[in-house]
Structure 1
Amino acid sequence: MKNLPYMLALVAVAFGALLLYLGELDDSPGLGGIGLILMVGSVVLAVRHARRSRR
């Protein structure tokens, strides 16, 4: 259970990459943007969680 936030972040990054890929296939900038925001946001939250858990 200790690694659950990191696993969720990994799944979110993979899903974001899929959305980014599908957005590029369909030439849909909105879907690609949502995928990019999801990827960046999940990485930021995972890093923030890692930094707070070390205190």
Structure 2
Amino acid sequence: MKRGVYFVLALIGVLAAIALGGAAVVYGGADDSPGLQGIGALAVIGATAVALRWRGPE
């Protein structure tokens, strides 16, 4: 049971980071802000890396 709760919380966190990163890329493109696009891309890449490496509680 505890493992499932940790998985759901991790999934929500990763999906939120990907959504915010994607929004930052879109808004950075609309405003011609390469810095915001870079931060958004790093957020998406980082969240994806965390999701792929996450093993949960042992």
Q: Give a deviation string over 1:6-47, Cα, whole Å, max 9, x none.
A: 110000000000000000000000000000000010010011
Q: Which of these residues, 47, 50, 53, is aligned with residue 52 of structure 2?
A: 47
Number of residues paired by the alignment?
52
TM-score normalised by L of structure 1: 0.86
Query: What's the counterpart of residue 12 of structure 2?
Result: 7
Ranges in structure 1 where 5+ consecutive residues have no aligned partner: none
Structure 2: state its 5+ residue gaps: none
What root-mean-square deviation, in Å, do the aligned CA atoms of Structure 1 and Structure 2 show?
1.3
Larger Rg: 2
With normalisation by structure 2, the TM-score equals: 0.82
